Chains A and B, each alone.
Chain A
Amino acid sequence: MKFTLSWLKEHLETEASLDEIVETMVAVGLEVESVDSPADRLAAFTIGEVLEAEKHPDADKLKLCKVATKDGAMQIVCGAPNARVGIKIAYAPVGAYVPGIDVTLKKAKIRGVESFGMMCSVRELELGDDHDGIVEAPAEAKVGDPVADWLGTNDPVIDFEVTPNRPDTNGIDGVARDLAAAGLGKLITPTPKSIKGAFESPQKVELRFSDETKDACPAFAGRYIRGVKNGPSPQWLQDRLRAIGLRPISALVDITNFVTYDRARPLHVYDADKLKGVLHARLAEKGEKFLALDGKEYEADETMTVIADDNDAEGFGGIIGGEETGCSEDTVNVFVECAYFDPLRTAKTGRKTGLTTDARYRFERGVDPNFILPGIEMATQMVLDLCGGEPSEVELAGAVPAFEKTVLYPTTEVLRITGMDVKPEGQERILTALGFEVRKSDPWQVDVPSWRPDIEGKADIVEEVSRIVGFDHLPTATLPLTNAVEAPKLTPAQERRGRARRALAARGLMEAITWSFTDEKYAALFRNLDEMKAAGLYLANPIASDLGVMRPSVLPNLLAALQRNADRGRTDLALFEVAPTYESDQPDGHKDTAGGVRRIDAQRHWSTASHTDDGVFRAKADALAALEAAGAPVANFQSASPGPEYFHPGRSGYLQLGPGKKLAAFGEIHPRVLKAMDVDGPVYGFEIALDDIPAGRKKNVKTKPALNASDLLSVKRDFAFVCDADVEAEALIKAVRAGDKALITDVALFDIYQGKGVPDGKKSLAVEVTLQPRDKTLTDEEIETVSKRILAQAEKATGAQLRH
């Protein structure tokens, strides 16, 4: 909300400077967003006087002027037709920034003649739209005076944020009251005088609501004024409205806008001769239409309050009036409306219609019910002053809603809640200045003023006292520690995520953060859409149509990101994200997930002869690293293939702790998925359900088991097996290990071979087995025994034979 300094001073008698006023507003909770001071904005511009104006030697339309300025006599080339000897002008020196044309002036040569600075137009100074010539200042202006003193208005405009709890500060009087309470001056807001009606109002008003809906508009007041003369409002009123960004329309309309901003009291003025019968407030009929003042047609429904005459609806109560009964230049008799509309209903109507007006803004936050009748008087006085005429008696339908609220308030509350010790006298002074009435019983009884609907209980009184005292008086206190050294704070789930992130980053993946939602057509590649719909994962109001569903996996957004990077030439990237995915709209449907994608570029490096495509196993290693960091028992994992359907069926798998306990999937992303997402392949990825990792109980005993290292030399033996091509390596390794669980400490697969020397449909797998004796060196016989058991196990489990 905007207001000007001079306007404020009609409510606040103060010696305070603009800076002090702004600082105090901020200190009491009126957050100033900007201060526009014309004097500052126009500081570079001073008055000059044209001494000579000759024709430019080489240009018919240009003049060569000599101008008296604060910098002495300057030569300025000017194209304005009104540039002539003797006028006072707005001089912009070289180096000045001219806002209207967004140019910083330089010394220029115009058609061969040097020009030092500029004489500005109204538009160039951003004082108006006029660009017919240079602006002419009054003859009394002296060379060197600031332009702001002579042109336009030198009245600073303050813009501040009105918080929803403070409808009273939608009026300048409310701002003044806060400032006065904070000690910045005296509140001098005039109380509107009651004006005696000269006749009974010929315009009648009524409320036509049922008992259930009568709170939609409990009071509807108005007054008939006859014989007015509408026209442009006086300059001071136009200047004020313009300064705060409103367009002056006519005296009658400007008066309603003035009162809206001056007292947070919206009004409406009807051309009484255009009204037919009784003016009344009622709920609309569904489908009822009318043309509003903004020139648009609106359709009402049965929840909306309209103001209507015997013909039809005129406008939405508390939001906007109607075009048909509005005032014009020819209006002679008017009816001024000042009513009370229910905040909730007004807000709902406003939302449904999309109408944002100054009136709606105020009614939905709550206007002062006790200012309904004074509002009529104030408006009447202004109409009489600016438009003449003769007022009727006040018409009132319904009754002004009673506002009686008393808060029981122990004065110790300020100390308890804020730690500030404010003496009762100080508290009383502040509350009284804000319009509260204090009765000093124990606890105090504090009567709430009718313009403060936000005050409900003692906490609100604490806020009033403490914000006026000022939060800069808050003590600085330290929370006491309950332990000398704090215990660890992270939950296992939090710790798991953190460790997984750092493990993946350590493996060369970059952590991305992507939206929690994704494109429906991408989601469809990862989960059945009907299922997602049933799980409640469709947004009703997505930010964009391609971000309409909650993601079933982190992979789609990562794949899209991978491709965006590839489009910029970054083709060897690995990305991961540890973040939620959504199984359902219930709290337990929120799943912590770690996922990653890699594209492996054939590395061009002087030391690389060829590149092996090991993407599947890098993705598997990524998954294992993250799982291990997250505390999963990786030694117990089994691999199972294939993985989920969004992976390549032949190049993917799960990591599981037994059937049905799948913790992760990995492999090459399905080419069909990549194609649907326009992602260049191949891409390898993995996904881990972090929530499903069994909770590794924190060990209470921190001592580690004794080191079991043998001084005896370990023995390594190689075995080359031939088995069916579809035998899984993991099965063979497991079988080999079973040869002697105590003695065999490692089985490393070092070669896979298919081709010459191996029959069709078979493959050769070669493993190196490490035997670690504990008590005594192994004899050849013992090694032979173990070898036989290894061969037997391998054959039993996989049908593998020793290769000859």
Chain B
Amino acid sequence: MSDLGSLETDLLAKIEGAGDAGVLEEIRVAALGKKGVVSERMKTLGKMSPEERKEMGPALNGLKTRIGEAIEAKKSALDETALDARLATEKVDVTLPVRAEQKGKIHPVTQVTEEIVAIFSAMGFDVAEGPDIEDDFYNFTALNFPEDHPAREMHDTFFFEPKEDGSRRLLRTHTSPVQIRTMMEQKPPIRIIIPGRVYRCDSDQTHTPVFHQVEGLVIDRESHMGHLKGTLEAFAKTFFEVDSVTTRFRPHFFPFTEPSAEMDIGYERVGSSDGRGEIRIGQGADWMEILGCGMVHPNVLINCGLDPDEYQGFAWGMGVDRLAMLKYGIPDLRDFFAADARWLEHYGFDPLDQPNLAVGLSR
């Protein structure tokens, strides 16, 4: 029995002294391997008398277990040490800059159009569209612009080369032709907004030959100018993401609406006394025109085959680019079309920020 004790002491000392996993493995083989000292001793159990076996069996098994455990423990300790040693050599300079990833942006016109769509779709408006290249009927005549009336000249129309029959097509000067197309195709009730590119033969600091409009049209049997006001006020408040917006409706003239009005919203400039400060929309003593609107002219309804004594409704039109400028403080309209990466990076939107009324239109 005592030799078992010294064997154990000896083995444990060797295990403890093992310097690396290789030495430890040799010790394990020498002790617990097929021909290891402990294994050899185990083999002797078979030749023992039952009494001897009863005594030696548990002793040998205990020895085997303890040696095994000691080896495992030492192995873990050696692994830990080895890992620490490896890690000590694996140092990177974490202050190195990460690789620049190209970041895409959504153009403010797209973003603001989607904001407008989000608002009006919640109010039950469909989104209608039509072609950029139109003819005189849809762009003017059906919209109650009299032939050769000065009101047509206000539009600075782009025309195409005349055809053989003398007719000429044009680039739509507003998205209103889609009102006509919709009313001719679809019976009321109608609630649509019409986003799209429009064209005026005009180019200076505040005008570009291409710009974007969203028009709205409501036709039913009961919507009146109070609904127009309520709808557009609700829009302005939601769009500019302010608690309230003061509005002013001024009589104006458009051939296709009667009465016609322009809507102003209140604003103030803050942060600078020279009139160049930041614009705060919603309140304030100054007024800014943001859209034109009115009750659809009876002649327009008649032109679309609707009886103006039965149907009525309202329409409005607003400039998307201008709304984007106002909301996001973008100074120059011409930059919208310049595709300057610096501008797009600065004023553009993250593609993940899709306008949504539940989380708020913008961050």
Contacts and interface: CB of A to CB of B under 8 A. Distances in A.
Interface in B127-149: 127, 129-133, 147-149
Contacts of B233: 476
Contacts of A481: 123-124
B158 A479 contact: no
Interface stretch (B10-18, B48-56, B57-65, B256-264): B256-264
A506 interface: yes
A474 B121 contact: no
A515 B209 contact: yes
Contact of B227 (A457, A479, A491, A493): A479
Contacts of A564: 338-340
A575 B229 CA distance: 40
Interface in B330-347: 336-342, 344-345
Contact of B339 (A498, A558, A607): A558
B341 A565 contact: yes
B249 interface: yes
A585 B133 contact: yes
A26 B102 contact: no
B234 A478 contact: yes
B348 interface: yes
Interface string A656-678: 00000000000000000000000
Query: For chain A, which range describes its interface: under 10, 10 to 19, 20 to 34, or 35 or more residues?
Result: 35 or more
A498 B191 CA distance: 21
B107 A513 contact: yes
A502 B252 contact: no
A264 interface: no
B126 A573 contact: no
Interface stretch (B27-35, B36-44, B78-86, B109-117): B109-117
Given A419-B227, A539-B160, A573-B341, A459 B298 contact: yes
A474 B229 contact: yes
A651 interface: no
B325 to A, nearest CB: 14
A579 B127 contact: no
Contacts of B97: 606
A20 interface: no
Contact of A165 (B225, B234, B253, B351): B253
Interface in B235-292: 248-253, 258-262
A498 B225 CA distance: 33
Interface string B152-171: 01100011111100001101
A89 interface: no
B102 A508 contact: yes
A262 to B, nearest CB: 22
A507 interface: yes
Contact of A539 (B125, B159, B342, B351): B159
A586 B163 CA distance: 13
Contacts of A166: 253
B203 interface: yes
B150 interface: yes
A351 B153 CA distance: 10
A760 to B, nearest CB: 39
Nearest to B151: A164
A635 interface: no
B253 A417 contact: no
A521 B157 CA distance: 24
A365 interface: yes
Nearest to A557: B339
A482 B104 CA distance: 39
Interface string A408-441: 0000000111111000000000000000000000
Contact of A607 (B99, B129, B249, B348): B99
B229 A477 contact: yes
A590 B133 CA distance: 8
B225 A506 contact: no
B131 A511 contact: no
Interface string A530-541: 000100111111
B335 to A, nearest CB: 11
Contacts of B151: 164-165
Contacts of A486: 121-124
A489 B126 contact: yes
Interface stretch (A27-35, A40-48, A123-131): A27-35
Main secondary structure of the interface of B (DSSP, over half): mixed
B255 to A, nearest CB: 8
Interface string A584-607: 011101100000000000010111
Nearest to B227: A477
Greatest chain B CB density within 10 A among A471, A481, A568 is at A471
B117 A489 contact: yes
A476 to B, nearest CB: 4
A471 B261 contact: yes
B225 A474 contact: yes
Given A164-B150, A590-B132, A605-B99, A513 B109 contact: yes
Contacts of B104: 504-511, 574
A509 B252 CA distance: 43
Contacts of A607: 96, 99
A348 interface: yes
Contacts of B223: 479
Nearest to A489: B121
A467 interface: yes
A568 B199 CA distance: 29
B251 A417 contact: no
B340 A589 contact: no
A564 B130 CA distance: 32
Interface stretch (A206-214, A304-312, A542-550): A542-550
A420 B224 CA distance: 9
A503 to B, nearest CB: 8
A514 B337 contact: yes
Interface in A318-362: 344, 347-348, 351
Nearest to A163: B253
Interface string B166-188: 00110100000000000000000
B127 to A, nearest CB: 5
A582 interface: yes
B126 A501 contact: no
Contact of B130 (A348, A417, A471, A587): A587
B351 A538 contact: no
A582 B133 contact: yes
B192 to A, nearest CB: 9
A563 to B, nearest CB: 10
Given A347-B148, A507-B104, A606-B96, A417 B295 contact: yes
B150 A365 contact: yes
A283 interface: no
Contact of A506 (B122, B231, B339, B351): B351
B105 interface: yes
A512 interface: yes
Contact of B102 (A165, A472, A491, A574): A574
A572 interface: yes
B329 to A, nearest CB: 19
A477 B348 contact: no
A511 B106 contact: yes
26 contacts: A27-B250, A29-B250, A31-B250, A420-B226, A459-B258, A477-B226, A477-B227, A478-B227, A479-B231, A482-B124, A486-B123, A491-B129, A503-B351, A511-B107, A512-B107, A513-B336, A536-B133, A539-B158, A540-B161, A542-B158, A565-B339, A574-B102, A574-B104, A582-B133, A605-B99, A605-B100
Interface of A: 26-29, 31, 163-166, 344, 347-348, 351, 364-365, 415-420, 457-460, 462-463, 466-467, 471-472, 474-479, 481-483, 486, 488-491, 493-494, 498, 501-517, 533, 536-544, 547, 550, 557-558, 561, 564-565, 568, 570, 572-575, 579-580, 582, 585-587, 589-590, 603, 605-608
The 4 closest A-B pairs by CB, nearest first: A29-B251, A508-B102, A419-B226, A505-B104
Given A418-B225, A564-B339, A608-B99, 9 more contacts: A29-B250, A466-B259, A510-B344, A511-B106, A516-B171, A516-B197, A541-B158, A561-B338, A587-B130
